[in-house]
Amino acid sequence: MTESGDRIVVVTGGSRGIGRAICAALSAPGTTVYFNYNSNLDAALATAREISAGGGKACYHQVDVASESAVSDYLGTVLKEAGRIDVLVNNAGITRDGLLVRMKETDWDAVMDVNLKGTFNCMKVAAKAMMKQRYGRIINISSVVGVTGNPGQANYVASKAGIIGLTKAVARELASRNITVNAVAPGYIDTDMTGDLGDTAKAAMIGQIPMGRIGTPEEIAGVVAFLASAAADYITGQVIHVSGGMYM
């Protein structure tokens, strides 16, 4: 808590989709939700309105999480303003799909830089503050495909599997300081990221989901809110699958 008693939450990629739902779920009176976007200011403004409607205070910034210096400046500003970071949710992510043999190096690098290095960049700065506080909750958004694999997504799957390894390594490093680090692995969720799939691909995807339907961003956000809550104080280093049973 800050001197003013606020809980300070940081969510990356909060402007759309799952990130927006997480910002809304974590908003409450006495909570300040810092979130960043990459290029979509209008969407960020809509998220800020949702946070305000939940009773929390919204602070948004344009930050490319792939840039170590941009993240360091951004979280430095958060720490200067708020004095602490209680919860960090690494949600920002992109896809650049293609079969391995045709995958461009730039597509490999872009996905690894945003998804995996972005998570590392944010955790590194936040962990230092959390260690001093002797409290912190870090939740990283992976994906079911980081465990199962998926053809046409070698870069994305590698980044999401990397997030699981990163989560477990850092969970072991920080556990004694009362900092938990967990991952949430969503299945197929209805957002812009999956919106481009054609009807045939969508039907094939739904066919692989035992529960027979696409998930909602709110169903991911609810689990993130649980992991950030006192009810999850004794959970660390775990991967929680929220995928309608795609992985058992």
Site string for ligand NAP, 128-147 (x = CB under 6 A): -------------x-x----
Q: Which residues are catalytic?
A: 156
21 to 60, contacts with ligand NAP by CB under 6 A? 36-40, 43
Contacts of 43 (CB under 8 A, 6+ apart): 15, 16, 20, 37
- Residues 58, 29, 86, CA angle at the centre, nearest 5°? 70
For the segment 79-98, give every residue that binds ligand NAP (CB under 6 A): 91-94
Gap between the Cα atoms of 152 and 146, Å rounded = 13
Q: How far is the CB of 116 from ligand NAP (least distance, A)?
A: 10
Interface with ligand NAP (CB under 6 A), residue from 25, 65, 154, 225: 65
| Burial of 193 per CB tally in 10 Å (0-12, 13-18, 19+) | middle
Q: Which stretch binds ligand NAP (CB under 6 A): 7-15, 53-61, 98-106, 164-172?
A: 7-15
In sign, the C-alpha dihedral spanning 102, 104, 105, 111 is negative
User: Is the CB of 74 or the CB of 135 nearer to ligand NAP?
Assistant: 74
32 vs 159 by CB, closer to ligand NAP: 159
Q: Is 1 helix (H, G, I), strand (E, B) or coil?
A: coil
Q: Does 73 bind ligand NAP (CB under 6 A)?
A: no
How far apart CA 116 and CA 63 sit, in angstroms, is 16
Q: Strands 7-11 and 31-37, how do they pair?
A: parallel
d(CA 173, CA 93): 24
β-bridge mates for residue 32, sequence order: 8, 57
Neighbour count for residue 207 (Cβ, 10 Å): 8
Q: Is 180 in the site for ligand NAP (CB under 6 A)?
A: no
With contacts defined by CB under 6 A, name the span among 10-18, 23-31, 73-81, 129-137 that binds ligand NAP: 10-18
Q: Is 16 helix (H, G, I), strand (E, B) or coil?
A: coil
Among 10, 48, 59, 114, binds ligand NAP (CB under 6 A): 114
Which one-letter DSSP state was computed for residue 112? I
Residue 2 contacts ligand NAP per CB under 6 A: no
Residues 184-213, one symbol each (x = binds ligand NAP by CB under 6 A, - = not), give --x-xx-xxxx-------------------
The residue among 67 and 178 lying less far from ligand NAP, judged by its C-beta, is 67
Residues pairing with 59 in the sheet = 34
Shortest reach from residue 109's CB to ligand NAP, in Å = 12
> Would you tell me which residues interact with ligand NAP (CB under 6 A)?
12-19, 36-40, 43, 63-66, 91-94, 114, 141, 143, 186, 188-189, 191-194
